[in-house]
Structure 1
Amino acid sequence: MASDFQNTLKNLGKQAKKAAERQAEQEKEAVKRSAEAVDFAKEMGTVTPLKNSGRYEAPRDKTPMKPRVQDKNPLASESLFFVGTGGNDWDEPPAAFSKNGQGKNDIRRLQDGYWDVVADVDLHGYTQEKAQEVLNEFIEFVKKRGVCGEIVHGSGLGSSGYKPVLKNTVRRWLMQHPDVLAYVEPRKGNDGAVRILIKRQKKEWEQG
């Protein structure tokens, strides 16, 4: 009986020893894995995470006219006024022009801001042909709102041969357009824009 008790104690001791050995082995393995693991937070400590700002980068509005409306019945291409695309070969048009009997008065009034500028258009980046299409639309737009508008065409210093192609085309176009009475450079020392005067439109009761 005593021997059975002794054997039981021995077995319990062996089991306890094995359990202790397993526990020690597990702790040793855990320490090893911890030493080998990359401390991600420490490694990335100098990196600032990206923030989601929710910002939407909208595409640039390349609409040339300001202000501008969508016409339900746009001008037919065959009715547009053109003067060709030979602006690089033309002599440079004058800084101011008027073709009615009020020449000097119209030019002076345009320079003095006598008429309100009801709309303006920027033609930078347009070809000669496309610029003339936009000008046709612009004239119609101004007609509905008044008699004076402003056109930015640039000085043309970057053109081939330093000849202002778009500037020449725009001013030749204005000189020949039947509804344009005059134009001037609105700001002294800046030849990159012109202010225009167009014919006043007759009211319906006047036409009747």
Structure 2
Amino acid sequence: MAARDENKDDAHLFREAIGGVRPLRQAYADAPPRPRPPPEPIQALRDEASVRDELLTHAIDPAAIEGGDEISYLKPGQPPRLLKRLRRGLFSIRAEIDLHEMSSAVARDAIRLFLDDCLRQGELCVRIVHGKGLRSKAQGPVLKQLTDSLLRRRADVLAFTSARPAQGGTGAVIVLLQRS
């Protein structure tokens, strides 16, 4: 009997020590855990972005284009007279971007954004001033080569050619974009 009295005393002391309590409402006890957000493959996305940037970054061959050389391109399937008309300046230039003082990475993004914006606004004949590469020393005209290779890769570029002397000569290119 002494053990039973001791247990009652212990229970009484415990209740006094913790104070008044109230039972949990049933709603809290049965609440489901919050759903976890879906996992994001952050590293995989970073890897893919770096691969894309590596593919767009390429070593520039200074022998490929010299500072004073004219560059031109005509998309396969387009009539040759289109390039002739572009060379003669028969299209009205509607927008322009100047790449002077830009690094290759900045210029690459600037060209892409500029052309995308021009297409959205319906500006189909544009000028890109890349410079002649006179300060590029042994590397040759870096931005000129970059502009040439980027424009050739775009599906929406019909033709481009070095500008006429009054429009920048071999330091600029006139681009004809395809209407979407």
Give yes or no for TM over 0.5.
yes
Call closer, same or farther: CA 1:90–1:170 in 2, change over 3 Å.
farther
Equivalence map 1:15-94=2 (5 Å): 83-88=56-61, 91-92=64-65
Higher helix fraction (1 or 2):
2
- Determine which structure has greater relative contact order: mean sequence separation of CA pairs < 8 Å that are 6+ residues apart, divided by chain length: 2
User: Would you say the 8 A contact 1:90–1:168 is kept in 2?
Assistant: no
In structure 2, how many angstroms separate the alpha carbons of the residues matched to 1:90 and 1:103?
A: 29
**How far off its partner does 1:88 sit?**
4.4
CA RMSD of aligned residues (A): 2.8
Q: CA deviation at 1:91?
A: 1.7
Please list, as runs of the form range in 1=range in 2, the aligned pairs for 1:170-181 lying within 5 A after superposition.
Answer: 170-181=147-158
Partner of residue 23, structure 1: none
Q: Which residue pairs with 1:153 in the alignment? A: 130
How much does 1:146 deviate? 2.5
Q: Match for residue 60 of structure 1? A: none
* SS of residue in 2 equivalent to 1:117: coil
Aligned residues: percent identity? Answer: 29
The answer as to whether partners of 1:83 and 1:172 remain within 8 angstroms in 2 is no
Match for 1:107 among 80, 83, 89?
83
Scaled by the length of structure 1, what TM-score is found?
A: 0.53
Query: For residues 88 and 126 of structure 1, do their structure 2 counterparts lie closer, same or farther at Cα, with a shift above 3 Å needed?
Result: farther
Gaps of 5+ in 1: 1-77, 202-208
| Alpha-carbon distance, 1:110 to partner | 1.1
Gaps of 5+ in 2: 1-50
| Aligned partner (choices 105, 114, 122) of residue 129 of structure 1 | 105
**Who is 1:165 aligned against?**
142
2:62 and 2:141 in contact (8 A); partners too:
no
Change in CA separation of 1:162 and 1:83 when aligned onto 2, cut-off 3 Å: closer
- The question of whether the paired residues in 2 share the 8 Å contact of 1:123 and 1:152 is answered with yes
Give the alignment partner of residue 186 of structure 1, picking from 150, 158, 163.
Answer: 163
> Take 1:190 and 1:142, find their aligned partners in 2: how far apart are those partners?
22
Aligned pair in 2 of structure 1 residues 109, 89: CA closer, same or farther (>3 Å)?
same
Task: Report the TM-score when normalising by structure 2.
Answer: 0.60
Give 3-state SS (helix, strand or coil) of 1:97's partner: strand
| Paired residue total | 125
Task: Give the 4+ runs in structure 1 shifted more than 6 A.
Answer: none
